[in-house]
């Protein structure tokens, strides 16, 4: 396969390498993925766990699927090019690439070992240094206007504990200082109202907010995520704008589409069967297909939530921590007032939600669990932040992403029957294939061409590289995309 | 305060110390808890997080609350007696005590650093050594008859993903090989039946299974855990036996009480508004007040779940990993067939559930999330298991617990108006105070006497020591309990 545009020969003198000692590119010497060694490894694992979604095993030579340059143990910073150029990064959750020197150094610090060995129940016996750790980690990244952080272990738990906070807040307002009634206390012990009230969370068609019972009732990606699981039938979804790309070329019709969606959202807020207490929205619908909306749309949502007294939760689990060219994607909206809650996980390696003091429960132990997060992963968030700041990685995502998007548009224009709707912010980019089947084929061929990435929505391909992804890596990707597109 | 029975002078030549270099006992030099330094520390933390449930901060000298022997960094194995004799152990979640040498050694192993730094999305890109890690960690402890493990990060998520597995299994059986209908697919996207079916989980009054939306609908401990949070109103609770202690002295009436509860459970299974798909039960209701039932009762539940085609889930989040004198508390029941699912967390430092292959979902990605647990904590489970085996810690819990229980009965008989209903298995012990207020006073006084422990249920005190808790530590506890009881 020839490279028509010569991406691999390019130089980028404006970008110093962020990582030293990487191989020059991916090398795939198997003719099918998973290759024979991964297959054997997965067979062994399948005796214990469902492996049907797995396709690669990483991290040891004998499982390297024949890659000629497997990662060597202890070798410094082979950050991106392990076996593949990894554009999916453990479902968008690796911030600094593989074998980050900073994370390796932090891994054996006395603080880290302390937290590994003497794991606290943070709600009742926090470590003496916990306030300081939070101040130097998560709180340094707190979105403007949010002064508090609730720590958790995954995105789903973050969203669900945020919903709980919203429900408790709503009921407290409703009581208006009156005491909790004995009816409240007795009915909640039977899962019945008024103690277990019939209140709702609103989210969007195509939105993904997790898979446990509360979050799954706000997730509307595809049936297989929801089928067979009891759900809160009065929780509400509303259409998310279906915009045309590139956005700037379709502004008039896109504006109209967003207005339509805002009008429907307002209608649903007004006429909901059960009061809508919280609204949760992703800055970019990710699992749902990399669907974008404009800052104006999100300002419209903020206005509606204010108007109807609804807690606005921005789910930055996938968009947060830099990839869009802002630390938090919602920073780009310039909202007139901050969201009430911002949830996070993935690239922070730890999870939770930022909020204001009004969303603390009115009594201790109400929004609570044994561990309340894992301080080991919070310590990592501190290192991740330090790396992001010292290496200006958010800016890197913005610049590298701008370059990659520009070149993807070039390929899109060359192969318009294959690739369309190139879109995104920073390196948080995606494009469409004509249909689901062709998308799946394209993803598989990219893997054989040395690029690992993932699909999203019905027919999209998404890129979720690490924050140290640079133009020279983008060239490897572009070369592969162009080659696969040319043969499609 | 004098020690009437002289616990502190006792020797236990049958027990070699499991841990070297511990201080001889707790030392509390503050007159109120939290002491001034903890108070200052909590004040700082309270700016960022709700600290109303917190009472101790651990782990650094300046937060030591004035303890004369704070834990020294790197000092080997000051396992139990840090500031307090810790009988609560981070809400029953510390298996090997503080500063376990084995865990410290494992903390900087290359494998651990690998998993800290290159965290995988286990469902799609498991590490090459993942099968081996599972085989040598969790699977070595798999309950008899259960060959599979689903990994998770906390007890709540374990229970909820187990419920999901039960629901999917039930619906698959119901379809009996027929295809999923388009009505199923479309209705689930609106949170409506039949795609989002109206199915129920059954649990017990006083049971605790977590605090997110699904698990909270199966938790029936106290109103403050449930109030204001929407719940599945058709999910069902049934009375848990209210037994009299000591069990052996009240067998006739206890048998009758258990038969009564089994009859009600069966009645509810037969006449439920929504089909009951799963039953979840703790071997000992912990948060609910250390309520016990006999093996016969649990065999009765197993028989009922078999009779009505209900998945039986044993929630071993708090009882599992040794404290009852069995590795899994349900081993003591000698069930005629194993439970369908056993969930775990806490003392394993990681979480998940064991099950048989029939409970795998019928398609990939259905019971799924980004990380599917944290391999760092799974690696710790391996070390924990090795320590338990090489030091015979389950047997230690049985023997130490037997001694402690016998002596608690002596104190109970001396102060019958203060302490009653001494009960438990292994070191998983509890007793009652006359009422909630006196219980709270007793817990506070125990802390000032150097023993940290927790309450449970309306008026009980529970002990949840680490597995390296020995008779000489029991003596420190007994001395404190006796002194506090004598002054009560």
Using the Cβ of B185 and the Cβ atoms of chain A, whether some distance falls under 8 Å is answered with yes
Which distant-in-sequence residues (6+ apart) come within 8 Å of A303 by Cβ?
A336
In the predicted model, is pLDDT for residue A144 greater than 90?
Answer: yes
- Chain-chain contact of B64 with A377 (C-beta, under 8 angstroms): no
B109-126: per-residue pLDDT in tens?
Answer: 988 998 999 899 999 888
Region(s) of chain A under CATH 3.40.640.10: 112-389
Rounded to whole angstroms, the Cα distance separating B196 from B198 reads: 7
Distance from CA of B486 to the nearest CA of A (A): 28
Q: Supply the pLDDT for residue B20.
A: 79
A220-261: per-residue pLDDT in tens?
Answer: 999 999 999 999 999 999 999 999 999 999 999 999 999 999
Residue A238 Cα to chain centre, angstroms: 21
- Chain-chain contact of B118 with A58 (C-beta, under 8 angstroms): yes
Cβ contacts (< 8 Å) between A60 and chain B: which residues?
127-129
Give the torsion through C-alpha atoms of B434, B436, B442, B445, to 10 deg: -150
Mean pLDDT, chain B, as a whole number?
Answer: 91
Q: Supply the pLDDT for residue A31.
A: 76
> Among residues A12, A4, A5, which one has the least CA distance to residue A403?
A12
- Chain-chain contact of A48 with B366 (C-beta, under 8 angstroms): no
- Structure confidence at residue B42 as a pLDDT band (50, 70, 90): confident
Task: Please identify among residues 265-324 of chain A the ones whose CB lies closer than 8 Å to any CB of chain B.
Answer: none
DSSP-assigned states of every residue in B307-345: HTT-EEEEE-TTTTTTTTSSSSGGGGG--SS--SEEEE-
Rounded to whole angstroms, the Cα distance separating A168 from A162 reads: 10
State both tokens at B338: 């194993």
B137-162: per-residue pLDDT in tens?
Answer: 999 999 999 999 999 999 999 999 99
Q: Supply the pLDDT for residue B2.
A: 47
For Cα atoms B286, B289, B290, give the angle at the middle one, nearest 5 degrees. 55
Q: Minimum mean pLDDT among B12-16, B338-342, B410-414: which range?
A: B12-16
Is the model more confident about B81 or about A53? Answer: A53
* Count, residues in chain A: 488
At B313, give phi and psi (nearest 5°). Answer: -110, 120
A430-463: per-residue pLDDT in tens?
Answer: 999 999 999 999 999 998 888 989 999 999 999 9
Identify whether the C-beta of residue B79 lies closer than 8 Å to the C-beta of residue B96.
Answer: yes
Q: Minimum mean pLDDT among A260-264, A340-344, A378-382, B98-102: which range?
A: B98-102
Other beta carbons within 10 Å of B246: 14
State both tokens at B261: 């509860």
> Where does residue A385 rank: exposed (0-12), middle (13-18), buried (19+ CB within 10 A)?
buried
Cβ contacts (< 8 Å) between B464 and chain A: which residues?
none
In the predicted model, is pLDDT for residue B21 greater than 80?
Answer: no
Other beta carbons within 10 Å of A139: 18
Distance from CA of A124 to the nearest CA of B (A): 4
- Structure confidence at residue A22 as a pLDDT band (50, 70, 90): confident
Over residues B271-300, the mean pLDDT reads: 98
B299-315: per-residue pLDDT in tens?
Answer: 999 999 999 999 999 99
Strand residues in B2-74 grouped as ranges (E): none
CB-closest option in B54, B117, B132 to A124? B54
A105-133: per-residue pLDDT in tens?
Answer: 999 898 899 899 989 999 988 887 889 99
Using the Cβ of B108 and the Cβ atoms of chain A, whether some distance falls under 8 Å is answered with yes
Q: Supply the pLDDT for residue A12.
A: 92
In the predicted model, is pLDDT for residue B56 greater than 80?
Answer: no
State both tokens at B416: 């019958």
Give the SS3 label for residue A357: helix
CB-closest option in A147, A188, A200 to B226? A188
At B117, give phi and psi (nearest 5°). Answer: -90, -40
Active site residues of B: 208, 315, 346, 370
- Chain-chain contact of A116 with B167 (C-beta, under 8 angstroms): no
DSSP-assigned states of every residue in A67-113: -SSPPPTT-TT--SBSSSEESSHHHHT-SS-TT-HHHHHHHTSHHHH
Over residues B339-350, the mean pLDDT reads: 98
Q: Which fold has domain B112-389?
A: 3.40.640
B446-471: per-residue pLDDT in tens?
Answer: 988 889 899 999 999 999 999 999 99
pLDDT above 90 covers a percentage of chain A that reads: 78
Cβ contacts (< 8 Å) between B198 and chain A: which residues?
230
At B456, give phi and psi (nearest 5°). Answer: -160, 155
> Among residues B342, B445, B128, which one has the least CA distance to residue A60?
B128
Q: From B65, which residue of chain A is nearest by alpha-carbon distance? A: A128
Active site residues of A: 208, 315, 346, 370
Q: From A39, which residue of chain B is nearest by alpha-carbon distance? A: B128
- Structure confidence at residue B76 as a pLDDT band (50, 70, 90): very low
Q: Minimum mean pLDDT among A115-129, A389-403, B78-92: which range?
A: B78-92
B166-180: per-residue pLDDT in tens?
Answer: 999 999 999 999 999
In the predicted model, is pLDDT for residue B1 greater than 50?
Answer: no
What letters, b where the CB count within 10 A reaches 16 and e where it falls short, cover B413-446? eebeebbbbbbbbbbbbbbbbeeeeebeebbebb
- Structure confidence at residue B70 as a pLDDT band (50, 70, 90): very low
Which distant-in-sequence residues (6+ apart) come within 8 Å of B102 by Cβ?
B96, B383, B386, B387
**If you classify domain A7-18+88-99+393-487 with CATH, what class do you get?**
alpha beta
- Chain-chain contact of B167 with A228 (C-beta, under 8 angstroms): yes
A-B CB pairs within 8 A amount to: 395
CATH 1.10.1050.10 correct for B7-28+67-99+391-487: no
State both tokens at B242: 């209210």
Mean pLDDT, chain A, as a whole number?
Answer: 91
Strand residues in A87-245 grouped as ranges (E): 148-152, 200-204, 236-238
CB-closest option in A107, A228, A370 to B93? A370
State both tokens at B62: 């300046």
For Cα atoms A154, A158, A161, give the angle at the middle one, nearest 5 degrees. 135
Q: Supply the pLDDT for residue A83.
A: 67
Number of C-alpha atoms within 13 angstroms, CB side, residue A316?
A: 30
State both tokens at A451: 């690029």
Q: Supply the pLDDT for residue A30.
A: 73
Q: Supply the pLDDT for residue A59.
A: 53
Q: Supply the pLDDT for residue A303.
A: 98
Q: Supply the pLDDT for residue A32.
A: 78
Q: Supply the pLDDT for residue A4.
A: 65
Over residues B194-207, the mean pLDDT reads: 98
Rounded to whole angstroms, the Cα distance separating A379 from A410 reads: 42
Rounded to whole angstroms, the Cα distance separating A327 from A319 reads: 9
Q: Supply the pLDDT for residue A223.
A: 96
Going from the C-alpha of A292 to that of each of A244, A288, B348, B358, the distances in angstroms are: 9, 10, 42, 40
Q: Which of A57, A102, A227 to mutate against chain B (most B CBs within 10 Å)?
A: A227
For Cα atoms B461, B467, B471, give the angle at the middle one, nearest 5 degrees. 75
- List A429's β-bridge partners, or say none: A424, A463
Task: Please identify among residues 211-270 of chain B the ones whose CB lies closer than 8 Å to any CB of chain A.
Answer: 211-215, 217, 220, 223-235, 237
- Structure confidence at residue A80 as a pLDDT band (50, 70, 90): very low
Over residues B283-308, the mean pLDDT reads: 98
A31-74: per-residue pLDDT in tens?
Answer: 777 777 778 888 888 999 888 888 776 654 333 332 333 344 33
Is the model more confident about A219 or about B25? Answer: A219
- Structure confidence at residue A81 as a pLDDT band (50, 70, 90): very low
Distance from CA of A169 to the nearest CA of B (A): 9
Within chain A, what is the greatest distance between any pair of CA atoms? 76
Identify whether the C-beta of residue B277 lies closer than 8 Å to the C-beta of residue B201.
Answer: yes
- Chain-chain contact of B91 with A47 (C-beta, under 8 angstroms): no
A408-432: per-residue pLDDT in tens?
Answer: 999 999 999 999 999 999 999 999 9
In the predicted model, is pLDDT for residue A400 greater than 50?
Answer: yes
ipTM associated with this complex: 0.94
Q: From A56, which residue of chain B is nearest by alpha-carbon distance? A: B125
- Chain-chain contact of A125 with B360 (C-beta, under 8 angstroms): no
Identify whether the C-beta of residue A54 lies closer than 8 Å to the C-beta of residue B124.
Answer: yes
Using the Cβ of B149 and the Cβ atoms of chain A, whether some distance falls under 8 Å is answered with yes
Q: Supply the pLDDT for residue A1.
A: 46
Q: Supply the pLDDT for residue B407.
A: 97
Identify whether the C-beta of residue A315 lies closer than 8 Å to the C-beta of residue A159.
Answer: yes
What is the distance in angstroms between the CA of the first residue and the CA of the last residue of chain B?
A: 12
- List A148's β-bridge partners, or say none: A355
> Where does residue A386 rank: exposed (0-12), middle (13-18), buried (19+ CB within 10 A)?
middle
In the predicted model, is pLDDT for residue B354 greater than 90?
Answer: yes
State both tokens at A379: 């310590």
- Structure confidence at residue B3 as a pLDDT band (50, 70, 90): low
Rounded to whole angstroms, the Cα distance separating B341 from B363 reads: 19
Distance from CA of B186 to the nearest CA of A (A): 7
Using the Cβ of A357 and the Cβ atoms of chain B, whether some distance falls under 8 Å is answered with no
Using the Cβ of A2 and the Cβ atoms of chain B, whether some distance falls under 8 Å is answered with no
Within chain B, what is the greatest distance between any pair of CA atoms? 76
CB-closest option in A110, A121, A153 to B91? A121
Q: Which of A44, A117, A146, A186 to mutate against chain B (most B CBs within 10 Å)?
A: A117
Region(s) of chain B under CATH 3.90.1150.10: 7-28+67-99+391-487
Region(s) of chain A under CATH 3.90.1150.10: 7-18+88-99+393-487
């Amino acid at each position: 396969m020839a490279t028509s545009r010569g991406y691999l020969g390019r130089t980028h003198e404006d970008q110093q390498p962020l990582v030293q000692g990487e191989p020059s590119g991916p090398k795939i010497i198997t003719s099918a993925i998973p290759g024979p060694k991964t297959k054997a490894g997965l067979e062994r694992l399948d005796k214990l766990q469902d492996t049907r979604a797995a396709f690669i095993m990483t991290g040891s030579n004998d499982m390297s699927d024949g890659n000629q340059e497997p990662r060597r143990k202890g070798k410094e910073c082979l950050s991106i090019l392990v076996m593949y150029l990894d554009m999916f990064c453990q479902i968008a959750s690796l911030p600094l690439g593989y074998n980050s020197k900073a994370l390796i150094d932090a891994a054996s610090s006395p603080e880290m070992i302390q937290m590994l060995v003497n794991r606290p129940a943070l709600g009742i016996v926090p470590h003496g240094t916990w306030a300081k750790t939070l101040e130097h980690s998560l709180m340094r990244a707190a979105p403007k206007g949010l002064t508090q952080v609730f720590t958790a272990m995954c995105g789903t738990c973050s969203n669900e504990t945020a919903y709980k906070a919203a429900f408790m807040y709503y009921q407290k307002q409703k009581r208006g200082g009156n005491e909790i009634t004995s009816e409240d206390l007795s009915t909640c012990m039977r899962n019945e109202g008024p103690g277990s009230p019939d209140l709702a969370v609103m989210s969007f068609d195509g939105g993904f907010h997790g898979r446990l019972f509360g979050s799954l009732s706000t997730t509307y990606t595809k049936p297989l995520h929801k089928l067979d699981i009891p759900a809160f039938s009065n929780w509400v979804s509303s259409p998310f704008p279906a915009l045309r790309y590139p956005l700037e070329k379709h502004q008039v019709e896109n504006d109209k589409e967003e207005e339509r969606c805002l009008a429907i959202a307002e209608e649903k807020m007004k006429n909901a069967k059960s009061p809508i207490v919280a609204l949760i929205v992703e800055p970019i619908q990710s699992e749902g297909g990399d669907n974008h909306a404009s800052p104006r749309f999100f300002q419209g949502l903020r206005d509606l939530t204010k108007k109807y007294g609804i807690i606005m939760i921005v789910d930055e689990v996938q968009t947060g921590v830099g990839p869009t060219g802002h630390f938090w994607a919602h920073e780009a909206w310039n909202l007139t007032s901050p969201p009430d809650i911002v949830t996070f996980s993935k690239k922070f390696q730890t999870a939770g939600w930022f909020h204001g003091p009004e969303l603390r429960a009115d009594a201790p132990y109400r929004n609570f669990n044994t561990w309340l997060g894992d301080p080991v992963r919070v310590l990592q968030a501190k290192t991740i932040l330090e790396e992001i700041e010292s290496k200006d990685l958010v800016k890197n995502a913005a610049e590298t992403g701008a370059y990659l998007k520009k070149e993807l548009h070039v390929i899109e224009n060359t192969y318009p029957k294959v690739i369309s709707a190139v879109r995104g912010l920073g390196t948080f980019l995606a494009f469409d294939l004509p249909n689901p089947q062709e998308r799946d084929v394209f993803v598989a061929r990219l893997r054989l061409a040395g690029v690992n990435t993932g699909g999203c929505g019905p027919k999209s391909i998404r890129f979720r590289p690490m924050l140290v992804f640079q133009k020279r890596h983008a060239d490897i990707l572009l070369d592969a995309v162009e080659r696969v597109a040319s043969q499609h």
